[in-house]
Amino acid sequence: MNKSVSLLWVCVLPLVMFAIGLQTGAAWSKESIGVAEKKVAAVAQGFQLIDLEGKRHALSEWAGQPLLINYWASWCGPCIKEMPDLDAFSKSQANAGGVRVIGIATDEADAVRAFLKRVPVSFPILVETIPEGGRGSATLFGDTGGVLPYSVLLNAQGRVVHSKLGSLSRAELESWVKSIHSS
């Protein structure tokens, strides 16, 4: 009797520990999203977001409507591959209440300008300069490594409803939009 009880423990304890570990991991990743769930207006402070004319911007300018933020750079192959799709998406959302799209390039302004000359897009592009070893605004939305491309969809209340590392497909964008309207 005693033996089978201890045998049970030997089997169950590692499982319990494993479950705790997974929970902890999930909680930690949620923690970073928790930070991102702050209102856009609050998030905007302290980041060097400049448009191509050199004018400073805050993310709060886009508050009050659903917003798709796409982090990209001209040196990032998978990023520039999705640019035409994002442009088409942006145009299709021009109606009232549609999703606004902005691109944030973690890149040099000159390189961004040169790229946009070749592949123009209609949505606003901001340039974010991240100091060496520093962290950019993408970190707040869960992109801890500053890896590109990274997209986040905020609802009109400024909460993160979806985020994705890697290129977005049209189908994914459509389902994101659907979920924002049903929520």
Partner 1 sequence: MTSLTMTFLRATRALVVLFAALPGLLHASSQQGLLPVEQAFRLSWQAQPDGELRLSWDIASGYYLYKERIKVRALDDGVTPGDLVLPDGVAKHDEYFGDVQIYRDWVEARLALAGATRIAITVQGCHEVDPQICYPPYVTNLNVAAGGGADPNVSASDAAAIGEPVQQGLQRVASASSSAMGIAGVMALAILITLGLALPFLAIGFIPALASRLPRPDAWIETLKQFLAFPLYATAAWLAWVLTRQRGAAQIVAELEGERS
The binding site for partner 1 (CB under 8 A) comprises 3, 6-7, 10-11, 14-15, 17-22, 24-29, 31, 73, 75-81, 106, 119, 130, 132-133, 143-150, 165-167
Closest CB 183 distance from partner 1, rounded Å: 21
Closest CB 42 distance from partner 1, rounded Å: 20
Buried b (16+ CB within 10 A) or exposed e, 149-161: bbbbbbbeebebe
Cis peptide before 149 (omega within 30 of 0): yes
- Which amino acid is located at 33 in the chain? I
Tokens of 119: 């592949």
- Which amino acid is located at 68 in the chain? L
Our CB check for partner 1 shows the closer of 72 and 89 to be: 72
Our CB check for partner 1 shows the closer of 63 and 111 to be: 111
63 Cβ contact list (under 8 Å, min separation 6): 39, 40, 41, 158
Closest CB 97 distance from partner 1, rounded Å: 30
Our CB check for partner 1 shows the closer of 36 and 93 to be: 36
